[in-house]
Amino acid sequence: MKMIDRKKFLLSTLGLAGLPFIAKSTILKKLTFINKPENFPVVIATWDNQRAVETATKELIAGKTALDAVEAGARVPESDPDDTSVGYGGMPDRDGNVTLDASIMDHLGNAGSVTFLQHIKHPVSVARLVMEKTPHVMLSGEGALRFALEHGFKKENLLTDKAKERWKKWKEEQHYNPVNSNNHDTIGILAIDKQGNVAGACSTSGLAFKMNGRVGDSPIIGAGMYVDNEVGGACATGVGEYVMKTLGSFLIVELMRYGLSPLDACKHAIQRIVEKIPEARNNQVGYLALNKKGEFGAFSIRPVFPYTVYQHGENKKFESESELK
């Protein structure tokens, strides 16, 4: 039996056998060679998270790491009672509980995440402590809460009056039936610091009125967010079930490793979802990607998917292209 060529096998597995590629070693050398310090620092985040990007940028300008920046940026919507998809003020599950998921990853490949965390306003910071203080990657539920309390986090009621009223109205109209709603604005955030190191974070309260115990893509390393310091990073927002089934963020980073631009990599990952999961056309997923050169891109299933970028001294809002028009 003939031995399978490793590269051909990998490309076939990724569904990329028909695309032109340069050898991995060539691409990695090229990425390092053309790295442009003038493009750094750079921060990119999902949706209209301008305050989050501004906060992360201040960390980088002050000389902090990309990891510090993405944590600080994600904490902004986590604290905002008017942001109904992240942290305090997030929509509850169908039983009225606010449950949070988050993940974080540094340039060394270290990662931490929490799932089904209740009563803690800043899950992204708990995720960082999981990464730095434990031998694990993920803690969940009561264990994650106990860990957070042991490390000085305050137990709080995260269900705002506004979110509670919307939940009550939903129960009357939907008769307790959970749906994959498009009404969610998970924050995914990526950054490159002055040293050229990449980090990423993701935080969410998940789908509004989900079944109790549901966990989405945001805390899943390789699904909601992924970073490889040789290549760059990617993050996701939207219906997490579709992202988990295709491991979108990992796929995007691997596509960039083999030469695709951030935009083309995001586009391919969205097309993978639409082809594999036809019903996804009725919902939304958006991807962001940032490579080691400081180039960024975004793509979504449907319009409208805005995102925010800081680079070259400016904090700007963009709108991604989409598969469906």
User: Worst-scoring range by mean pLDDT, 116-125, 183-192, 237-246, 293-302?
Assistant: 183-192
Tokens of 153: 């986090």
- What residues form DSSP beta bridges with 309? 44, 316
pLDDT greater than 60 at residue 34: no
Higher pLDDT, 176 or 231: 231
In which region does residue 151 sit, left (phi positive, over 0), alpha (psi from -120 to 50) or beta (all else)?
alpha
Q: Is the pLDDT of residue 238 over 80?
A: yes
21, pLDDT greater than 60:
no
So what's the pLDDT on residue 203? 98
pLDDT at 321 over 80: yes
CA distance 137 to 127: 8
| Mean pLDDT computed over every residue of the chain | 90
Among 64-68, 107-111, 150-154, 302-306, the minimum mean pLDDT is found in 302-306
pLDDT at 2: 44
pLDDT of residue 14: 57
Instruction: Examine the pLDDT at 20 and tell me if it is beyond 90.
Output: no
Task: Return the DSSP state at 39.
Answer: G
pLDDT of residue 310: 95
Active site residue 134: no
- Lowest-pLDDT range of 2-11, 125-134, 188-197: 2-11
> What is the pLDDT, as a whole number, of residue 181?
59
Question: What angle in degrees, to the nearest 10, is found between the helix axes of 50-61 and 66-79?
Answer: 150
**Per-residue pLDDT for 183 more than 90?**
no
Residue 7 pLDDT > 80, yes or no? no
| pLDDT class of 29 with cuts at 50, 70, 90 | very low
| CA atoms within 13 A of residue 68's CA, in its CB half-sphere | 12
Give the start-to-end residue ranges of the domains of the chain. Answer: 24-322
- Residues 249-262, mean pLDDT to the nearest whole number: 98
217 half-sphere exposure, CB direction, 13 A CA radius? 30
Residue 8 has pLDDT above 90, yes or no: no
Catalytic residue among 186, 237, 246, 308: 186
Distance CA 91, CA 206 (A): 8
Q: Where is pLDDT greater, at 30 or 273?
A: 273
CA distance linking residue 126 with residue 133, whole number of Å:
10
- Of 19-33, 81-95, 179-193, the least confident: 19-33
- Angle in degrees, CA 202, 86, 286, rounded to 5: 55
User: What residues form DSSP beta bridges with 266?
Assistant: none
pTM above 0.75, yes or no: yes
The CATH number of the structural domain formed by 24-322 is: 3.60.20.30
The whole-number average pLDDT for the span 313-323 is 95
Q: pLDDT tens across 164-178, in order?
A: 999 999 998 887 777
